[in-house]
């Protein structure tokens, strides 16, 4: 399996602004893994110590509730996942399943620590990029929750308004 090119990695948000030397170092320390369709990169509540950057394929992010997996979103080439566990040192908050055959770069905590020892500025940049990615996802989720709440509130107001009309009709009789 060939390693992704430096130019391809530089186009991915998680590697934005990293120089070629740092990317080359991460490529040397981070194996490419292949997961076939229907199999999992990891499951919710596992610990792993690594994140993944999707080079090829599509994954589903799943959250378990009452014994069933529920789809949160899909990710594709250039997206990363598993970075939350790397940042907050807690178990995985969701499962990641390959929807198609996937190839991903697996970046471990040890690989990032090696980058930290070699080039603190580049390490800081990748940490900031990870934070930005988590922040983007949080912003999207906040907007989706807001829109859902607005729709539910409108529906509740319609129900209450309808109940008021029924009560008014009852008062007239």
Could you tell me if residue 157 is inside a domain?
no
Averaged pLDDT, 136-141: 88
Q: Which domain holds residue 63?
A: 6-132
Could you tell me if residue 163 is inside a domain?
no
Could you tell me if residue 41 is inside a domain?
yes
Highest-pLDDT range among 10-14, 94-98, 128-132: 94-98
| H helix or E strand, kind and range, residue 128 | helix 120-172
Could you tell me if residue 50 is inside a domain?
yes
**What does pTM read for this prediction?**
0.78
Residue appearing with tokens 């589903």: 60
Look at residue 3 in the predicted model and tell me its pLDDT: 58
What burial letters (b/e) apply to 80-119, b meaning 16+ CB within 10 Å? bbbbbbbeeeeebebbbbbeeebbbbbbbeebbebbeeeb
Question: For residue 44, with 0-12 CB atoms within 10 Å meaning exposed, 13-18 middle and 19 or more buried, which class applies?
Answer: middle
Which residue has better confidence, 163 or 60?
Answer: 60
End-to-end CA distance of the chain: 80
Could you tell me if residue 36 is inside a domain?
yes
Could you tell me if residue 172 is inside a domain?
no
Could you tell me if residue 156 is inside a domain?
no
Could you tell me if residue 159 is inside a domain?
no
CATH number at residue 84: 2.60.120.10
Number of domains making up the chain: 1
Averaged pLDDT, 84-111: 92
């Amino acid at each position: 399996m060939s390693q992704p090119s430096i130019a391809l990695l530089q186009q991915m948000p998680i590697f934005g602004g990293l120089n070629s030397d740092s990317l080359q170092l991460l490529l040397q320390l981070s194996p490419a893994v292949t997961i076939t369709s229907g199999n999992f990169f990891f499951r919710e509540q596992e610990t792993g110590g690594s994140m993944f950057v999707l080079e090829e394929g599509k994954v589903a992010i799943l959250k378990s509730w009452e014994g069933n997996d529920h789809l949160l979103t899909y990710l594709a080439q250039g997206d990363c996942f598993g970075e939350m566990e790397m940042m907050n040192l807690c178990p995985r908050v969701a499962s990641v399943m390959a929807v198609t055959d996937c190839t991903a770069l697996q970046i471990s905590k040890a690989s990032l620590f090696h980058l930290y020892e070699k080039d603190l500025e580049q390490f800081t940049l990748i940490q900031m990029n990870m934070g930005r990615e988590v922040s983007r996802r949080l912003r999207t989720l906040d907007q989706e929750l807001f829109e859902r709440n607005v729709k539910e509130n409108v529906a509740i107001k319609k129900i209450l308004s309808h109940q008021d009309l029924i009560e008014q009709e009852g008062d007239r009789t």
